Amino acid sequence: MLVVGDVVTDVVARHRGPLASGTDTVSVIRTLPGGAGANVACWAAHRGCPDVRLLGRVGTESAAWHERELTACGVRPRLVVDPQAATGTVICLVDTGAAAERTFLTDSGASLRLGPEDWSDALLDGVGRLHLSGYLLFSESGRALVGTASAAARARGVPVSLDPASAGFLADLGVDRFLTLVEGMDVLLPSRAEACLLTGLLDGAAAAAALSRVVPLVVSKEGVDGALVARDGAVLVRVPAAPATPLDTTGAGDAFTGAFLAALLACADEMAAAAEGCRAGARAVERVGGRPPARGEGAVPTTHRTHAG
């Protein structure tokens, strides 16, 4: 599997109750590796996918750290080191109440500069699936890369999936523009909020069904309500969520996506793959940050790192 997308540094601040404006709010703060694309890759490797590769762009100040963290999760990173932009940073404000809901402050940094010049068709050699982070669509260079990578994958018969990534950014991009950009893709993995935004429908099942008339397979992530699998205009199945005690919901959707795609690659059917995704999402919310546990000591995949001019 090849994942193309964002690699960022997450600053996770867990606090209880509303923020105290103009003064201090007691929090527990950790700095962790993150990024939707990177998280998906790590969860796919954690699910057992034997060869997961990631193309991303980072700043010089944290390139070595991100490289080590990805490799420790079993991912083969190809990180383009940007000499002009710092690695993206996301401040994750996590309310430690029962829902562990999070709010993001996002500076995408070098990730916004990932583009066609960072692509090589050789990245697809031996790849069974290409997954694109929706955050690519929120910059001109990223949109160009989506077109280049998707065309290369289609030419080789490699299925392409995309996760819309952010309802807020989607609203800024525009629904019609987004739907045009995803034409020809094989799998779309929106959240319920994203599916409803993209269709103008209030019901999650109706929204998933409608989207599956645009992209053949739609898997809508419904949080505590599990997931919906829709194909060719109809909902096929609702998969229940796995039980969990939420600690931090950051990266739960990425965990679902990584495990779902890894299961498909291992020849699971769509319902079984969605169940794997739900289990991974449940594991993710019981951890702080968006990544699975790193692999133990032992052999790790080869890492490739390039510098951008």
The segments of the chain whose pLDDT lies below 50 read 297-307, 309
pLDDT of the residue at 97: 75
pLDDT tens readout for residues 165-207: 888 889 999 999 999 999 999 999 999 999 999 999 999 999 9
**Angle 65-190-113 (CA atoms, 0-180°, nearest 5)?**
40
pLDDT tens readout for residues 48-70: 999 999 999 999 999 999 999 99
Rg (CA), the chain: 18
pLDDT of the residue at 167: 87
Yes or no: say if 162 and 156 are a contact pair by the CB < 8 Å rule: no
Q: Which residues 6+ apart lie within 8 Å of 14 measured at CB?
A: 27, 28, 29, 94, 96, 248, 288
Residue 22 backbone dihedrals phi, psi, to 5 degrees: 80, 0
Yes or no: say if 212 and 234 are a contact pair by the CB < 8 Å rule: yes
Q: Collapsing DSSP states into helix, strand and coil, what is residue 73?
A: coil
Q: Collapsing DSSP states into helix, strand and coil, what is residue 78?
A: strand
Q: Collapsing DSSP states into helix, strand and coil, what is residue 44?
A: helix
C-alpha 156/C-alpha 149 separation (Å) is 11
Least Cα distance to 9 among 80, 106, 142, 133 occurs for 106
pLDDT of the residue at 309: 44
pLDDT of the residue at 296: 61
pLDDT of the residue at 96: 82
